[in-house]
Chains A and B, each alone.
Chain A
Amino acid sequence: MGMTHFDTYVPRQSVIHRWSPRLKLVSLLALMFAFATVQTLSLVPWMLGLAALLYGLSGLPLSFLLRRLNYPGLFILAIVVLLPFTVGNTLLWQWGWLTLRQEGLQATLLIVGRFLSILTLGFILLGTTPFLTLLLVLRSLGLPTILADMTLLSYRYLYEIAAMLATMQQAMRLRGFGLPRQHWLQVNGQTLQQLALLVGNLLIRSYEQSERVYRAMRLRGYGDGAQLNLGQFTNHQAVGINLGLSGAVLVAAVGLVVAEWVLRR
């Protein structure tokens, strides 16, 4: 798991940045679900076009999206390599044992199209909304306190614990830990034991740190009806942007669902 920096908010002055976070979350989620309903190939360009238009409006650099597509790109690669050559009976092209099939190609275009469109919307949401604001919005939409507090605290200590693990791994390497050469399909018990102890130590250190954190939080009144302070998100964005963008995105979402229903009939 490649861990990049968590808060990937890119400060800009675009309309998507100025869109009310609450309306943005609800509208973009509705559009993501509408994208997930698409089963007709002719709607894929519309879906990709909508995602591209919103990305353009967000003012996020293209490199932001490309960098984040590295990991999910492996999934796209697997689909592109497998489906067009294994699924379906209608041959489009053949070279030796390699045959390109129409049904597989259509399924690939559909899956990759949906995948890229939904993922782009997710990254628009993340790139234009600070993580804490997103959490505040979720809480304002009814996210239970325990879940909100756990998310905030996990987020707060994630990189500290990752740094702790990196230090422990470095210490192990300095003491000679390395992955020895192994035989085919043979799991090295000693390596497994050492890695289990590493994770065990990480859990114990995190647990002990959590006790100190809890005592500090108690001293500040946590648990006596007080919630973790996430601050307040201001909602003074232009009414026009809020209504215009939310309306347009929701109409697009409903339009896609209706178009899908009509085309499938």
Chain B
Amino acid sequence: MHIPDGILPAQVCAAGYAITGLATWYSLRQINRKPDPMAEIPKASLLTAAFFVASSIYIPIPPASVHLILNGLLGVVLGYFSFPAILIGLFFQALVIGHGGLTTLGVNAAMMGIPAWAAYHLFQAHRYLGRKLPEPTRIALFAFLGGTLGLGLSVLIFLTLVILHLPAEVDARAEQAAVVAFSLGHVLVMVVEGLFTAMLVLFLHRAKPELLES
């Protein structure tokens, strides 16, 4: 779901870099407010590498199989480190396999990273909301919502950008059909991504709860 080079005009690419610059600055400011930010760097870095590797795992969603985006999960686990982590992951992908692109790095980072923040804040809400529910249920529910929202917002931004920059001659009816088909396909992936995030977060909560204390 990365936007490759050559699709978007230079102005949009530049705006993407500006938004990513601002978001990175804000993330780093929040990170620097932590008691010992340097101690968190190895953890965030190795988890960035682990997420990058894990995104290569294919999940069977018949009739095909998809690889998950995991930006919601990244937000839930890494908090404010998620934006730099996504930026680095996309930089690696653009360099190693030409997935995404260097001119669209800013746009792609904003498209994946800002929803990761949203997922982080939504997941953190489990500390205050739904306190009547048992803790594991609450954690699973908010992790599911975080995972779904992370991907859902990214799909929405992706669709907006692609529709705005499609060639003007595209038949409106065909465009509408393509958008509906893409959205419906991704609703299923969003649910799977939410379930996957909930299962994984529940497991981390049982086995290594400090990983969720971002």
Which of chain A's residues have a CB closer than 8 A to the CB of B171?
Answer: 86-87
The answer, among A37, A112, A118, for a CB contact under 8 Å with B101, is A118
- B99: chain A residues at CB < 8 Å are 1, 71-72
Within 8 A of A (CB), among B84-106: 84-85, 87-89, 91-99, 101-103
Q: CB distance B54 to A202 under 8 Å?
A: yes
Segment at the interface with B among A13-21, A146-154, A232-240: A146-154
Majority secondary structure of chain B interface residues (helix, strand, loop or mixed) = helix
Proximity string of chain B (172-214) to chain A, C-beta cutoff 8 Å, 1 when within and 0 when not: 0010000000000000100010011001100110011001000
| Residue B37, interface by CB 8 Å | yes
CB-nearest residue of chain B to A118: B5
Q: A170 at interface (Cβ–Cβ under 8 A)?
A: no
Q: Please report which residues of chain A, range 142-200, place their CB below 8 angstroms from some CB of chain B when the two chains form the complex.
A: 144, 146-147, 149-155, 157-158, 161-162, 165, 179, 182-189, 191-193, 195-200
User: Interface range on chain B: under 10, 10 to 19, 20 to 34, or 35 or more?
Assistant: 35 or more
Q: How far is the CA of A154 from the CA of B202 in the complex (A)?
A: 26
Question: Who on chain A is nearest to B100 by CB?
Answer: A72
In the docked arrangement, what's the CA distance between A196 and B193, Å?
10
Query: Which A positions have Cβ atoms within 8 angstroms of B?
Result: 1-4, 6, 8, 29, 32-37, 39, 68-69, 71-72, 75, 83, 86-89, 101, 103-104, 107, 111-119, 122-123, 125-126, 131, 144, 146-147, 149-155, 157-158, 161-162, 165, 179, 182-189, 191-193, 195-200, 202-204, 206-207, 209-211, 213-214, 217, 222-223
Residues of B that sit less than 8 Å from A by CB: 4-10, 13-14, 24, 28, 31-32, 36-39, 41-57, 59-63, 65, 67, 77, 81, 84-85, 87-89, 91-99, 101-103, 167, 169-171, 174, 188, 192, 195-196, 199-200, 203-204, 207-208, 211
